[in-house]
Structure 1
Amino acid sequence: MRKLLLVGCAALVLGGSAAAVSSQTPRNETFRLLELFGDVVGIVEQAYVVPVDNKKLIEAALSGMMTALDPHSNYLAPDSYGDLRERTSGEYSGVGLTITSEGGMVKVISPMDDSPAAKAGVQAGDVISSIEGQNASGLTVSQVSEKLRGTVGTSIKVTFLRDGEEPREVVLTRELIKIQSVTGRVEGDFGYLRVSTFNENTGRELSEAIAKIRAEKPGVKGYVLDLRNNGGGLLNAAIDVSDAFLERGEIVSQRGRKPDQIQRYSAKPGDLTGGLPVVVLINYGSASASEIVAGALKDHQRATVVGLTSFGKGSVQTVIPLRQGQDGALSITTARYYTPSGASIQKIGIEPDLEVARSEAEARIVSRSSFIYSEAAYATALDSSIGAERKGAHIPHEAPGDKFPKDKDYQLERALDVLRAGGDLSKLSAAPEGIVVSEPGAKAKSEDTPASDEPQQ
Structure 2
Amino acid sequence: MPKRNSKAEFFSLLAFLIMGALLLSNGFVARLQAADEQVDVYRELEPIGVVLDTVLREYVREVDMQKVVEGALVGVMGSLDRNSSFISAADLAAMREDTKGEFEGIGVSIKPDADGNITVFHPLPNSPAAEAGIKAFDRILAIDGKDTKGMTTAEAADLIKGRKGTFVTLSIGRKPKDAPEDAALETLELKVRRDKVPLESVKEAQMLKGSIGYLRVSDFKDNTAADLAKRMQEFMDAGMKGLVLDLRWNPGGLLTASKDTCELFLPKGALVTYTRGRLNADGKPSKDDLRLVTGKRPVLPEGMPVIILVNDQTASSAEIVTGALQFHQRAVVVGEKTFGKGSVQTVIPLTKPENTALRLTTALYYTPADVTIDHQGILPDVPLDMTPEQEEALAKQMFESFENAPEKQYMQNHGSMTDYPVTADTVEDIQLQRAVDILQEDQVWESILEKYHRDVRDTQMTAEDAQARNGAAEKAAAAPAAETAPAEESPAEEPPVEEAPAPDGDFTEPVW
Give me the TM-score of the superposition, normalised by structure 2: 0.59
Residue matched to 2:70? 59
Partners of 2:156 and 2:337 in 1: CA distance? 27
User: Could you tell me which residue of structure 2 aligns to residue 195 of structure 1?
Assistant: 217
Which residue of structure 2 aligns with residue 270 of structure 1? Answer: 297
The AA in structure 2 aligned to 1:21 is: N
Alignment of 1:114-129 (within 5 A): 119-121=135-137
Query: Contact (CA 8 Å) 1:81, 1:325: kept in 2 or not?
Result: no
Amino acid in the other structure paired with 2:291: R
- CA deviation vs aligned residue, 1:324-348 (integer Å, no higher than 9, x gap): 9834111100011011101111111
Matches within 5 A, 1:227-246: 227-246=247-266
How far is 1:427 from its partner? 6.3
Structure 2: tracts of 5 or more residues without a match: 1-22, 139-146, 174-180, 394-413, 416-422, 453-512
Give the match for residue 235 of structure 2: 213
CA drift of 1:39 comes to: 3.5
Question: Distance between the aligned counterparts of 1:85 and 1:172, measured in 2?
Answer: 31
1: distance between equivalents of 2:324 and 2:338?
A: 14
Report what 2:148 is aligned to: 132
Shift of 1:323: 2.1
- Mapped partners of 2:229, 2:385: distance in 1: 29
Is 171-180 or 283-292 further displaced after alignment?
A: 171-180
Evaluate the alpha carbon distance shift between residue 344 and residue 135 of structure 1 in structure 2; reply closer, same or farther with a 3 A threshold. Answer: same
Name the SS of the counterpart of 2:368 in structure 1: coil
Question: How far is 1:195 from its partner?
Answer: 1.4
Look up the SS of the partner of 2:432 in the other structure: helix
CA 1:82/1:41 → structure 2, altered by over 3 Å: closer, same or farther?
same
Q: CA deviation at 1:404?
A: 9.1
DSSP 3-state at the match of 2:61: coil
Query: What secondary structure sits across from 1:69 in the alignment?
Result: coil
Distance change (3 Å), C-alpha of 1:201 and 1:412: same
Are 1:305 and 2:330 matched, yes or no? no
Match of 2:205 among 161, 184, 188: 184
> Percent identical across equivalent pairs?
34
1:254 deviates by: 0.9
CA offsets per residue over residues 165-199 of structure 1, 9 Å max, x none?
A: 99x99999887653111242322312112211111
**1:260 aligned partner:** 285
Give 1:21's aligned residue.
26
Counterpart among 271, 284, 287 of residue 250 in structure 1: 271
Structure with more of its chain in strand, by fraction = 1
Q: State how far apart, in whole Å, the 1-side matches of 2:348 and 2:98 are.
A: 17
Q: Which letter maps to 2:223?
A: N
User: What secondary structure, in the 3-state scheme, does the structure 1 residue paired with 2:345 have?
Assistant: strand
Report the CA distance between 1:23 and its aligned residue.
Answer: 2.3
Q: State the structure with bigger RCO (CA 8 A, min sep 6), 1 or 2.
A: 1
* Counterpart amino acid of residue 200 in structure 1: D
TM-score between both structures, scaled by the size of structure 1? 0.65
The answer to whether structure 1 residue 90 and structure 2 residue 101 are counterparts is: yes
Q: Aligned equivalents of 1:171 and 1:233: distance in 2?
A: 35
- Verify the 8 A CA contact 1:224 1:281 in the aligned structure 2: yes
Corresponding residue for residue 411 of structure 1: 431
CA contact (8 A) 1:317 1:334 kept: yes
Aligned to 1:11: none
Question: Over alpha carbons, which structure has the higher Rg?
Answer: 2
> Among residues 378, 394, 400, which one is paired with 1:350 in the alignment?
378
Indicate how the Cα distance of structure 1 residues 192 and 220 shifts in structure 2: closer, same or farther if over 3 A, else same: same
Q: 245-254 or 415-424, which moves further after superposition?
A: 415-424
8 A Cα contact 1:198 1:234, kept in partner: yes
The superposition leaves residues 361-414 of structure 1 with CA deviations (integer Å, 9 ceiling, x where unpaired) of 34899xxxxxxxxxxxxxxxxxxxxxxxxxxxxxxxxx99xx998254322221
Using a 3 Å threshold, how does the CA distance of structure 1 residues 144 and 337 change in structure 2: closer, same or farther? farther
What is the Cα-based RMSD across aligned positions, in Å?
4.2
- Secondary structure, aligned partner of 2:28: coil
Structure-2 separation of matches of 1:201 and 1:66: 30
Deviation of 1:243 (Å):
1.6
Give the total of aligned pairs: 351
Corresponding letter in the other structure for 1:211: Q
| 1:219-262 per-position Cα deviation (integer Å, ceiling 9, x unaligned) | 31111111111111100000111121001421101111116132
- CA offset at residue 48 of structure 1? 0.6
Aligned residue number for residue 315 of structure 1: 343
Q: 1:332 aligns with which of 348, 351, 360?
A: 360
- Given that 1:283 and 1:308 are in contact with CA atoms closer than 8 Å, whether structure 2 keeps it comes out as yes
- In the alignment, is the contact (CA less than 8 A) between 1:112 and 1:196 conserved in 2? no
- Once the two structures are TM-superposed, the CA of residue 213 in structure 1 deviates from its matched residue by 1.7
Q: CA deviation at 1:304?
A: 0.5
Partners of 1:132 and 1:157 within 8 A in 2: no
C-alpha contact 2:250 2:314 (8 A) present in aligned 1: yes
Correspondence for 2:320 = 292
Which runs of 5 or more structure 1 residues have no equivalent in the other structure?
1-17, 123-130, 159-164, 366-398, 429-457
Deviations 1:92-120 (A, max 9, x none): 337755989xxxx9xx9x97965979952
Cα pair distance change 1:80/1:364, threshold 3 Å? closer
2:51 aligns to what SS in structure 1? helix
Contact 1:184 1:210 in 2 (8 A): no
Moved more, 22-31 or 113-122: 113-122
Displacement after TM superposition at 1:211 (Å) = 1.6
